[in-house]
A and B are shown apart, each in its own frame.
Chain A
Amino acid sequence: MRYVIDALIVISIFFAFAGVVGMLRMPDTFCRMQSATNISTCGILGVIIGGILYSAIYLGNAEMAIKLAVMGVFYIITNPIAGHILAKGAYKHGVRPENKMVVDRLEEDFEQ
Chain B
Amino acid sequence: MKKATFPAVISTAIVCYLFWLCITGQLAMLFEGEAAWQVLVAGALVSLGVGLFAGKYFIHERSFYLWHPARLFTGLLYCIIIFPWELLKANWDVAKRALSPKLPINPGIVKVPVDLQSEYGQSALANSITLTPGTITMEVTEETTDEGEQDYFYIHWIDVATAEEKEAGDAIKGTMEKWLRRIWK
Chain A: residues with CB nearer than 8 A to chain B? Answer: 14-15, 18-19, 21-22, 25-28, 30-31, 33-35, 37-38, 41-42, 62-63, 66-67, 69-70, 76-77, 79-81, 83-84, 87-88, 91, 97, 101-107, 109
Contact = CB atoms under 8 A, between A and B. Distances in A.
B6 interface: no
Contacts of A88: 138-139
B109 A106 contact: yes
A27 B88 CA distance: 24
Nearest to A42: B91
A31 B138 contact: no
Interface string B116-140: 0000000000111011111111110
B98 A37 contact: no
A84 B130 contact: yes
Interface of B: 19, 22-23, 25, 27-28, 31, 87-88, 91, 94-95, 97-99, 103, 105-111, 126-128, 130-139, 154, 156, 158, 160, 163
Contact of A18 (B99, B103, B126): B99
B110 A35 contact: no
A68 B25 CA distance: 12
Contacts of B31: 62
Contact of A104 (B19, B109, B130, B136): B109
Nearest to A79: B131
Q: Which 3 A-B pairs have the closest CB atoms?
A: A22-B98, A18-B95, A102-B108
A104 B108 contact: yes
Contact of B28 (A19, A30, A62): A62
B95 A70 contact: no
A80 B130 contact: yes
Contacts of A30: 107, 136, 156
Determine which residue in A14, A79, A80, A81 has the highest number of CB atoms from chain B within 10 A of its CB, and name it.
Answer: A80
Nearest to A90: B138
Nearest to B98: A22
Given A97-B107, A101-B107, A22 B94 contact: yes
A30 B27 CA distance: 41
A109 B140 CA distance: 13
Contacts of B109: 101, 103-107
